[in-house]
Structure 1
Amino acid sequence: MNRTFKTIDLFAGPGGLAEGFSSLRSKDGSRVFEIALSVEKEPSAFSTLRLRAFVRQFETPPDAYYRYIAGKISRSDLICQYPAEWAAAEHETAMLELGTGDAQAALDPRLDKIRREASHGTVVIGGPPCQAYSLVGRARNRGIEGYDPAGDHRHFLYREYIRILRLLEPVAFVMENVKGILSSKVGGEGIFDRVLCDLRSAGGSSDSYTLLPLVSSSDKGRHSGHIIRCEDFGIPQTRHRVILLGIRNDVMANISLRRTLQPFSSQSTVASVLDGMPPLRSGLSKVEDTAENWQSAVIDAFEKAALACRSDGSRQIEVASKLAVYAQKLRDRGEILARKSETVTSVRDDRLGSWLCDARLTALPNHETRGHMEADLARYAFAAVFCEIYDRSPKAEEFPRKLAPAHSNWDSGKFADRFRVQGWKAPSTTVTSHISKDGHYFIHPDPMQCRSLTVREAARLQTFPDNYFFEGNRTQQFVQVGNAVPPLLARQIAELLASLLG
């Protein structure tokens, strides 16, 4: 018998978890996990979320959707063409701040109705905001005068997630968060142990839910079965997250075989998804951004970087020589690259390509570069060439002194990876929301482009399909991508959960 589980996505962001879960189909073509409600408070992420909910109303997106993401019609034009489907998307999504009284008053009647109508039960997915748990966030909070973790409501937003579990009593839930939650403490008490206890008892008794490990791990750490290393599961990114899978105990009684996610035999790399995309130039943020000014600025950047390498003696002579070669190539190049491309390209990795690519896509969205300061161009040039030679990014101590930024603590060790190239031959480092602030940690591996990654490139590393359109300005788009769960990983979790539920 085909079963459909009404699925509620909390703290949904742009919808990474929902994208993976909703993509799973039964043999008859129906969705195994039907998204009944998605909740997000941030306006730009919510706009993206609602647009994707609209897309889910169709078996395949309508032509008008492709015209919209190509910028050929407005959002209002799209809505006018499909008012019923847009109304369904409006019903499926709610822009509310979970944990507030207003959100509770608006949501609880909806949730109660979903629970009563879900013949096969409900599933809850999502992850409370992670700023209070992440190592970076905690370090930042310690610098705030008078900061009291016990008074930071973000530490306890997971309780709203659990309150909704108690209201719905879903057959299963999936809760995602950063690894920092494992060591986060409030008042000397570990947050994670409290979270586990509250989740297990979310049905009203101390053993309402069983928490199953998603991975088989030889690591002897207490919680290693809940730590997902995305690069082990075909995601071209080294993203490590805590993901908890809970199944209601009366349902567990009917599960005879416990399964886990199966690691892939080989890792996908940056080249798997970015190699072959149209090359783009960076922009200039402090001077007039013309193609001619860019060419002059980047030639100058390569020459300055080469000179800086030579001034440090023989240590970086090979890098200096290659920088000089690139400077000459830029001089000889007739056509200067554009900052934006809508050209649709294939993906080298067939498995990832079948997930990311859309044969009906006529214009690749969200693929435009950001501007950089001229001083940083020389650092990007040096770092990218260094990575091309050594297959890794340079550490701070390997930068020529003349390229070192004017930070008083540059030599302290805290900025060892301040300029990080995402090399072709390995998975990328974790795509985080910090990519919205500057591109220093996300330098493109092609030295000739001398830039950081675009939103679309970051989205590919996160395994968002190429037809997934991110609303808002570029900064907001980067934040959405960096905060999301990789949809292809979510799909694998959905497949595992479906097999357990039968």
Structure 2
Amino acid sequence: MLKAISLFTGAGGLDLGFEAAGFKTCVAVEIDPICCETLRSNRRWPVIEGDVAAISSQRILKTAALKSGEADVLIGGPPCQPFSKSGYWANGDAPRLKDPNAGTLNEYLRVVRDTKPKAILLENVYGLAYDGKSEGLKRILNGIKKINREAKTNYVPSWTVLDAASFGVPQRRERVFIIASRDGREFKFPEPTHADGSLQELPAGIKPFHTTWDALGDLAALPDNPDLQLTGKWAGLLPSIPEGQNYLWHTPRGGGMPLFGWRTRYWSFLLKLAKDKPSWTIQAQPGPATGPFHWSSRKLSARELARLQTFPDDFKFDCDRAQVQRMVGNAVPSLLAEVLAREIRRQLLDSPMRSKKLKLLPPRRRGIPPQHAAEPVRASYMSLKGAHADHPGPSLGPRAKLRTLELAD
């Protein structure tokens, strides 16, 4: 098997995809103890538990039983909080490179410089490459140039934003990927293989998105599991929202009651899955009203979360559901990792796979059941009914006005 070094491994979403493409994780470096225990209980990968910044590259190579230059690939997704969209929503901006967590980018680059793998893959949130806010991306690209000067390598990075659903994952999830070869070969990202067939006739060779029913249709219904019941102020409102809708259903432009103003809440507020569409992005630490929720108006189970991220079914979690959501929500969909790993093998390592069949691609399930009927709005929410102003537009909402007042002071 080809040899991989894994940094910021988390629950192993990237590693499981590379495993499906014939790579062996020779060492996994992860700071979170629950992630480390999950990795150890599922795979025999050598795990170094601790902060990458405190772990020398020499220790990483020794644990992997590799010398500098011997690894086929180095993979990792440095913590994304400094560049996340949720940070922009909460604060109107995010500190990005000023955030202490952004130092993980430098640690990734340090290990690349010292271990000199034949290829590298770095994954991060879409916000890393936002127009006008791309300091993190520039830091990585400039860092790779510096490595080439210092280590006499010739990494030529290619980067793009990929939506996991475009490659068969039953979830809409956009992330930045940077891939480079040590010997200067240019990497070309694969073209999408799937698209939304409900909006247009698909071109030849393009398949419809995989749906949540494809991912979850064979799993038990779990209607009475107390761990999956919603809590909090809005728990009783979710049953009144149809499949595939969110709180916008209950606005003047939706089909329900005018309980909220248009776009005055974040998109995932009371967001519910639809059986005939991919899931929306699974979040790592959602609030009590943050979806996506199951179409039967409950939280998603641990196995359902893993299925939507295309983790293999033999991968088990021995912890509570909130911890599973945190680990899985921070992971890369394993099927997308498998797709990219196969391309790295073919384009950069002269080792294409014989079989074209993706191991982690979910099956198609026929006979999608009809939508769950939405319930009437409960009496306890009727006091919200009335005229509600729409969001005034970008940079004009209440948080933006508060920041303007703070700056004026």
Residue number in structure 1 paired with 2:50: 96
Q: Is the contact between residue 61 and residue 67 of structure 2 (CA under 8 Å) also seen in structure 1? A: no
Match of 1:127 in 2: 77
Unaligned stretches of 5+ residues in structure 2:
195-205, 351-409
Within the alignment, does 1:471 sit opposite 2:328 as a pair?
no
Deviation at 1:498, TM superposition (A): 0.7
Question: Which residue pairs with 1:456 in the alignment?
Answer: 303
User: 1:11: Cα distance to partner?
Assistant: 0.4
Three-state SS of the structure 2 residue aligned to 1:458 is helix
- What does residue range 28-427 of structure 1 map to in structure 2 within 5 Å? 33-54=23-44, 89=45, 92-99=46-53, 102-104=54-56, 107-111=57-61, 114=64, 116-117=66-67, 121-140=71-90, 151-183=98-130, 190-204=135-149, 208-213=154-159, 226-249=160-183, 252=185, 260-264=190-194, 265=206, 266-281=208-223, 338-339=224-225, 369-373=227-231, 376-383=234-241, 386-387=242-243, 392-395=245-248, 396-397=250-251, 398=254, 399-400=256-257, 404=259, 411=261, 413-415=263-265, 417=267, 418-427=269-278
Partner of 1:432: 283
- The TM-score normalised by the length of structure 2 is 0.73
Q: Secondary structure at the match of 2:16?
A: helix
> How many residues are paired up?
331
Where structure 1 has 5 or more consecutive residues not aligned to the other structure, the ranges are 26-32, 55-88, 214-225, 282-337, 340-367, 405-409
Q: 1:11 aligns with which of 8, 22, 27?
A: 8
Q: Tell me, in whole angstroms, the C-alpha distance in 2 between the residues paired with 1:149 and 1:488.
A: 29
Matching residue of 1:323: none
Would the alpha carbon gap of residues 157 and 377 (structure 1) be closer, same or farther in structure 2, given more than 3 Å must change? Answer: closer
Alpha-carbon deviation of 1:151?
4.1
Q: Compare CA radii of gyration and give the structure with the larger one.
A: 1
- Report the CA distance between 1:378 and its aligned residue: 3.0
Which is richer in helix?
Answer: 1
Moved over 6 A (4+): none
Match runs of 1:491-502 below 5 Å: 491-500=338-347, 501-502=349-350
Alpha-carbon distance change, 42 to 131 in structure 1, aligned in 2, over 3 angstroms: same
Cα deviation 1:429-462 (Å, max 9, x = unaligned):
1111134x3254122113xxx3121121111111
**1:480 alignment partner, SS class:** helix
Residues 97 and 135 of structure 2 are in contact (CA less than 8 Å); yes or no, is this contact kept in structure 1? no
* 1:23 equivalenced with 2:20 (yes/no): yes
Q: Which residue of 1 aligns with 2:295?
A: 445
Amino acid at match of 2:292: F
- Match for 1:16: what amino acid? G
Distance 1:208 1:113, change over 3 A: farther
What's the TM-score once normalised by structure 1's chain length? Answer: 0.60
* Identity percentage of aligned residues: 25
CA-atom RMSD, angstroms? 2.8
Instruction: Tell me if structure 2 keeps the 8 A contact 1:236–1:269.
Output: yes
Q: Deviations over 1:263-299 (max 9, x none)?
A: 2322101111122321122xxxxxxxxxxxxxxxxxx
Separation in 2, partners of 1:52, 1:108: 26
> How far off its partner does 1:474 sit?
1.8
Q: Residues 422 and 491 of structure 1: is their aligned pair in 2 closer, same or farther, counting only changes over 3 Å?
A: same
Relative distance call for 1:258 and 1:428 in structure 2 (3 A) is closer
**What is the distance in 1 between the residues matched to 2:10 and 2:276?**
30
Cα distance, 1:36–1:261 mapped onto 2, change above 3 Å: farther
How far 1:247 moved relative to its partner? 0.6
Contact 2:282 2:305 (8 Å CA) reproduced: yes
